[in-house]
Copies of this chain bind each other. A is one copy, B any other.
Amino acid sequence: MKFSKALLIGISEESLDQSSWAKIDKLITKKVFAQKDSAEFEKQLPEVDCILVGFGISITKEDLQAAKKLKYIGVQATAFGKIDTNFARKNKVVVTNLGGYSTEAVAELTIAAILERTRKLEESKLLSKNGNYTDTGIESYEIRGKNFGVLGLGKIGMRVAQLALGFNADVMYWSRTKKKNAKANNISYQNADSLIKSADFISINLAQTKETENFLNAERIKMLKSGVLIVNTAPMELIDTDALAKRLAKGDITFVLDHSDEMNKEDLKKLSKYKNCVIYPPIGLTKEAKENRKRIFLENIEGFLKGKPSNVVN
């Protein structure tokens, strides 16, 4: 079986290599690249049996109603919050995502970003570059024995929690639902406010949904323990950036983020003036994660066509 026509939205030619495109051409007869909500998009929608979308693209109920022949939506990302998956299911449209393609990559980055701060690696390197090899005055501390809070215990959150356990931190989590496997792994459940008040480290691993937007609001930012180090590898929509800037100005917390590419200029300007706000470009994806992304995206399409769909999210 083969798709007759596919719409590709928010997927660049560069996001896959030549051999992956060649494989896709064996699974799809005709590909049409289009912008969301363009005339081309509207025109093609009733014709296609497959839609492939990149990160953050919305597929609404109205889109799905117009897409009469649609059978499959392949998301080239983990997040699929902007796709009306419930309505898709009602219309017998299967939606797949990339599952845990970046779990290890993002979890390792979280620990990397934490250790970079606890050991003041940038400042230390600068000292030795300037010829100061002794009496550095660098003050550092250990992860061991500290309260380590994970907000959102999905795949990435769980992996961050496991790594933190390896460092002998006291790991706790808050998640929308309590997880059965957490307690067995010595990861204790806390309500969100208690976690925020007591954590020395916080890893934010919540999916962005209507419910989680502005999750770390002004009230919660006030609750943060003095000295806390927060790493947010999730979108910044989860954070009240005005309240964050205000707290950063006090100088008693550190905030690290890597979704700067999705932020507006004002927010970037507002946060980048604080030394205790570390802004990385989007460096979550390792070589391995990029390989996973290609492989799983293709496997999902193949699996659906063979009647064995994988990573179905609806």
Interface residues of A, Cβ cutoff 8 Å to B: 104-105, 108-109, 111-113, 115-116, 118-122, 124-125, 127-129, 132-134, 136, 138-145, 162-163, 165-168, 260-261, 263, 268, 272, 278-283, 285-289
Q: What's the Cα separation between A128 and B286 when bound, in Å? A: 18
Flag if A279 contacts B140 (CB, 8 Å): no
Q: A279-B128, A281-B133 are in contact. Are A141 and B268 (CB under 8 A)?
A: no
Q: A141-B287, A287-B141 are in contact. Are A134 and B281 (CB under 8 A)?
A: yes
Flag if B140 contacts A283 (CB, 8 Å): yes
Flag if B128 contacts A281 (CB, 8 Å): yes
Flag if A138 contacts B288 (CB, 8 Å): no
Residues of B within 8 A of A118 (CB): 108, 112, 286
| Nearest-CB residue, chain B, relative to A130 | B281
Flag if A119 contacts B127 (CB, 8 Å): no
Residues of B within 8 A of A132 (CB): 281
Contact pick for A105, options B142, B163, B272, CB 8 Å: B142
Q: What's the Cα separation between A144 and B112 when bound, in Å? A: 13
**What's the least CB distance linking A60 to chain B, in Å?**
27
Flag if B141 contacts A260 (CB, 8 Å): no
Q: What's the Cα separation between A260 and B127 when bound, in Å? A: 11
**What's the least CB distance linking A93 to chain B, in Å?**
31
Flag if B166 contacts A167 (CB, 8 Å): yes
Residues of B within 8 A of A129 (CB): 272, 279
Q: What's the Cα separation between A122 and B128 when bound, in Å? A: 15
Residues of B within 8 A of A105 (CB): 140, 142
Flag if A115 contacts B108 (CB, 8 Å): yes
The 8 closest A-B pairs by CB, nearest first: A166-B166, A112-B115, A133-B260, A136-B281, A134-B261, A112-B119, A133-B261, A128-B279
**What's the least CB distance linking A42 to chain B, in Å?**
29
Flag if A104 contacts B144 (CB, 8 Å): yes
26 A-B pairs within 8 Å (CB atoms) are namely A104-B142, A105-B142, A108-B115, A108-B119, A108-B142, A108-B143, A108-B144, A108-B167, A111-B111, A111-B115, A112-B119, A115-B115, A116-B116, A120-B283, A121-B121, A124-B283, A125-B278, A128-B280, A129-B272, A133-B279, A133-B282, A136-B282, A140-B286, A141-B286, A142-B289, A166-B166
Flag if B280 contacts A140 (CB, 8 Å): no
Q: What's the Cα separation between A163 and B128 when bound, in Å? A: 27
Contact pick for A119, options B109, B138, B272, CB 8 Å: B109
Residues of B within 8 A of A122 (CB): 121-122, 125
